[in-house]
Structures are given as structure tokens and as C-alpha cells.
Amino acid sequence: MAEQGKSVRVTRAANKRSAASASLANDDPSAAKNKNKNKKRVVLGELTNLPSNAVSSLDPSSLGVDSEKPRRIAKAKKLKKPIPSTTAVTKKEGDEKLDPETTSDDDDPQMCVPYASDIYAYLHEMEVDPKRRPLPDYIEKVQKDITPGMRGILVDWLVEVAEEYKLLPDTLYLTISFIDRFLSLNILGRQKLQLLGVSSMLISSRKYEEITPPHVEDFCYITDNTYTKEEVVKMEADILKSLDFELGSPSIKTFLRRFNNVAQESYKTPNLQLEFLGYYLAELSLLDYNCVKFLPSLVAASVIFLARFIIKPKMHPWTSSLQKHSKYTPSELKQCVLILHDLYLSRRGGSLQAVRVKYKQHKFKSAATMPSPPEIPAHYFSDIRQ
């Protein structure tokens, strides 16, 4: 009897659904077909009916929401690990320690411990690839209407743009890389230099780094509509063709993450002062055309050298561990370190203020306001024994 009742309920429900479907089909046969078709596509459950621009217009940080928290929670559940606490600074995925000698948890798969040396060996190969490197003297050899000063002004302005749209640091580094590589291959007039800048940032944000990047119209607006949408898109295509769509390239930030971990291996807690001072020096290096000739890994190593010197001037800034992992000796870093030191003391690029103003903020530990000795002792550049 129970089975019969169950059968009746199922049959009635089925008949009810069939009747509703038939009624819909009679009114509009295509509507029923589309309804079923659309329903199959919704594989993640019910979706809220938000306007098309609602997601991009919401900034999690403005609502006090940690945008990385859902991903961290999902990882923690999957790995059955405690959820890491949210600090004032949310680290991007990939910032974790990657070296066996700088982490005590060899069982954590997120640390990529077994592959760290192979990963960075590959990144070193990539950074020396001629296809991914700008010419060290492209302004003298290729350009006729652009000067190092113009390039510095453009980079300084792009730092402000990145701050305005809350773009990732990696987006900024890629943008400058695209600009230098394009100018190494193509002669450009000064009136199109800003167009090259916004189009490069459009590529690095929309096609590479950002989850919710600015729109093309935003980049037109930020130039006070000096360029049209069509001009920006046309320049975007020209850049991609010139670079042969080879966009991926390790940046200073890529190596800085590793070297910063090595520099702090003896610390019980992360030294945010050293970390933010390193980020500040790295972004200062983008302003100076003379730093184009240095490999990203060498600039990153020089940044750590100088940051450690500024924080503790009386202690030798280089260690055997840093030399082992960076592959650079103090004498090899000397030229780059001295340029960075001049930039830090405003003996170079003093009129370019965007990076300096940015890192005076409290959220960056006021890294730009830290005092530094005017000179670096010569003996600090003597090679140390392993």
C-alpha cells in the first residue's frame, strides 16, 4: 500500500510537470526548449540576477572584505589545515616561501619545496632569453624622439594609474617590461608615448594579471581622452605583434619574493619593514633607464643588499646564504646598488614623486621616509667566502 501511495505521488508530480511543460510549449515551443537548455548550463547552483557591471563595480576592500579569504578557506579545507589569519597585508598567491632552507614545514605542498630550485633555474633561463629582454641602450640605438627623462615621467605616471585603479604590483612590472621591449623594436614619436603606456597596462591587466581589470574606456579617461578607444586597441594589437605574443617574463618582484624569504631566514617573525623597503627600492628602479640593462634577478638581489644596509648600516648586508640562492656576489651587485642608493637619496630622479609619495603611506610602513647613510662602505662590496 505504501509503495502504491509512493507511486501515485510520483505519477502525480510527473503529470504536473508534464502538464506545465506542455502548456509552455503550446504558448511558445522555443521557450520550453530554451528553458531546459539554460537550466543545464547552471551547474554551480542558482545564480543571482546582478547587472552585468555589478561584479566589476564592487571592491571587496572597500567593504572591509578580504578578497583572498574564500580561496584560503577552500585550500585550508582541502588540505585539512588551519585557516591562516588575515593580516594587514594580504599576500598574493605565490608569495609563500619556496625554498627548503627557508621553511621548516617540508610537508606543506603549498611551499613547493621539492621544485623550488628547478622553478628558479627555469626563471633564470627565461630572464636571459633575448626575446624577453629589451635592448640595454634602445634609446640611443633605436629611438629618435624619446629621451630617458620622458621614459621616467611616463613610468612615474603609470605608478599613479596603477594606484588609482588598485592594480597588482606585477601588473606594473609587466607594463614597464612591455614598454621597454616595444621601444627596443619600434621607433615611436613622443606624442604616442603615453598611448604606448596605457595600451601596455591594458595588456598586462586585462590579458595577464588582473581578475577585474579596468576597461578600455577607463584608460582613455585617465589620459583625459587624449586617445580614442580605437587608438588604444590599435596600439594594443601593435604591441602584441611586436612582442610576438611572448608576454610572460619574470620580473624583479618574482625574484624579490624568494630573496626576501632567504634574507629573513633567521628572523622569528616576518620583517615587514624590510619587505616594504624592498618593494619601494624595486619600484624606484623602474624609473631609471640605467636599470634596464640589469637582469631582474640582479636588481632584486641589489634591492635586498641595499634594504639590509639601510636598516642595519653597521652590519654587512650580504650573507653566504643570499649569495648561494641569488648566484650574485657583492662585487657583481655594486653598480646596481649604487644607482638604487642614488635613487633612494633623490640624487637621481628627484623630480619623480609618485613612487616616493606612495611609499610614505603608513600601510607601507613609511618605507620612503627611512634615513640612510650617504655612502656605502667600499668593503661591503668585497666578495665573501662561501
**Residue 44 pLDDT > 70:** no
Highest mean pLDDT among 72-81, 123-132, 160-169, 202-211: 160-169
Residues of the chain above pLDDT 90, percent: 46
- For the stretch 274-309, pLDDT in tens is 999 999 999 999 999 999 999 999 999 999 999 999
Q: How far apart are CA 128 and CA 17, in angstroms?
A: 65
CB 250 within 8 A of CB 296: yes
Cβ partners under 8 Å of residue 321, min gap 6: 101, 262, 265
Domains of the chain: 131-243 (1.10.472.10), 252-381 (1.10.472.10)
The SS3 of residue 26 is helix
Q: What is the pLDDT of residue 119?
A: 82
Range 325-344 average pLDDT? 94
Measure the CA angle with vertex 266, ends 260 and 271; round to 5°: 50
Q: What is the pLDDT of residue 271?
A: 83
User: pTM of the full predicted structure?
Assistant: 0.70
- For the stretch 239-278, pLDDT in tens is 999 998 877 888 899 899 889 888 887 776 678 889 999 9
**Residue 372 pLDDT > 50:** yes
